[in-house]
Amino acid sequence: MSSDTQLILQAIPFGNGLCLDLGGNKGLLRDPLEKRGYRYINLDVRHFGGNEPSLIGDAHLLPFKDDALDMVVSKDTLEHFLEPKAAVTEVHRVLKTGGQFVIWVPWMHPFHGDDFYRYSPIGLKHLLRDFDLVSLESPLGVFTVVGLATIEALKRIRLGFLEQPLKHFCRLLDRFFTRHQKRPASFAAAYLIVACKPVN
């Protein structure tokens, strides 16, 4: 399991509700979320083999009734939505009051397949303005950013086998130097956000 997936799971409490993995691709979160007690639904735009996703659909027009879900997880997907505000509005609609929206988005990270956006902390707060913001963290900081750039260079000279040790080392440095950080770092590799649908 990747370290970013582990960080997301640390932000998700155990529960027994209905959880949507928005853009969940091959369903890598299915097993860990079901072990946490959730009934898991994976929605994506196309089939990825096996039984994933559970539903084919569009994040801009979710196929659920109002107030139907207890949690929505968006890991590495918000940057791929053509109209992110429409997708976030749909998440707000389908979440129950008090339901959580857990998001992982890249910041200083290489562009990858159909990337439309990068979100700063200010941009994320604005995009999620209809939610109560529980937390906004940058668990992967400047050392991970430098590590990602170094890894890309190493792959070009056939030293890609150093990727995992370098990632591990960079994340240890990030944890050591950002442990007491009060606000998200400017040089973040990614942001982890937990938002909650407020009680009206």
Tally of domains within the chain: 1
Q: Which two tokens stand for residue 54?
A: 């559970």
Domain assignment present for 86: yes
Domain assignment present for 35: yes
Which CATH number characterizes residue 26's domain? 3.40.50.150
User: Quick one: pLDDT at residue 130?
Assistant: 97
Extract the residue ranges of the chain whose pLDDT is less than 50: none
Cα distances (Å, whole numbers) of residue 177 to 59, 131, 144, 172, 180: 37, 30, 12, 9, 8
User: Quick one: pLDDT at residue 182?
Assistant: 55
Domain assignment present for 116: yes
Per-residue pLDDT tens over the stretch 6-35: 888 999 999 999 999 999 999 899 999 999
Q: Which two tokens stand for residue 35?
A: 């072990």
Domain assignment present for 25: yes
Longest dimension (CA), the chain: 56
* Residue 87 lies in domain: 3-141+189-196
User: Quick one: pLDDT at residue 116?
Assistant: 81
User: Quick one: pLDDT at residue 1?
Assistant: 65
Share of the chain above pLDDT 90, in %: 51
Sheet (strand 18-22) strand order: 55-56, 39-44, 18-22, 69-75, 95-106, 190-196, 132-140
Domain assignment present for 178: no
- What does the DSSP assignment read for 10-26? HTS----SEEEEET-TT
